[in-house]
Amino acid sequence: MTTYTLHITAEQAHTLSRACELLARLGIGQITEGLREIPQVEDIDWSDFHDDCQAVCKLMSKYMPRRIDGWTSNLGIHHADEGARRAWDLHQVLRHRLAWDLAIKEGWTDGTTRDWKQMMGVHFDDPTRVYPEPLARIERDEA
């Protein structure tokens, strides 16, 4: 298996994580996640936005399998295609590394134990593989 090393900043890793999460969510039919990323006017009416997102999901549901509606139902990551599952695995690895690095920086942990009072979110959980290939590895460079 060919592998690559990519050297990126924390901000770039965060952006890559967000992009992978979005790809995975669209791949399971969560259309609203994509709609939240469109450019928005400053004085947006969030009630109208909500209603319009629901209408878009209803319109697009005829193109999705199993009659999922993209609003209240989706395929679930284990039933998504390869690209969505691979993207989800990458997202999990990236968010996990970034979360633990932040926790160390903030003094919540020395990196060996989890302070559950400060570190409750799923981003602190070990990534769970949903695609057959090995999980990506990410290591923090020492400056």
What pLDDT digit, counting tens, does each position of 22-49 carry? Answer: 999 999 999 999 999 999 999 999 999 9
Query: Measured between alpha carbons, how far is 14 from 94 in angstroms, rounded to an integer?
Result: 7
Whether 114 contacts 48, CB under 8 Å? no
Q: What is the mean pLDDT of each run of 10 residues along the chain (143 residues)?
A: 92 97 96 92 94 94 87 93 97 97 96 95 96 94 77
Query: Measured between alpha carbons, how far is 18 from 77 in angstroms, rounded to an integer?
Result: 16
pLDDT of residue 66: 77
What mean pLDDT, rounded, does the chain reach?
94
pLDDT of residue 47: 96
Q: What is the pTM of this model?
A: 0.90
DSSP per-residue string spanning 25-59: HHHTT-HHHHHTTS---TT--HHHHHHHHHHHHHH
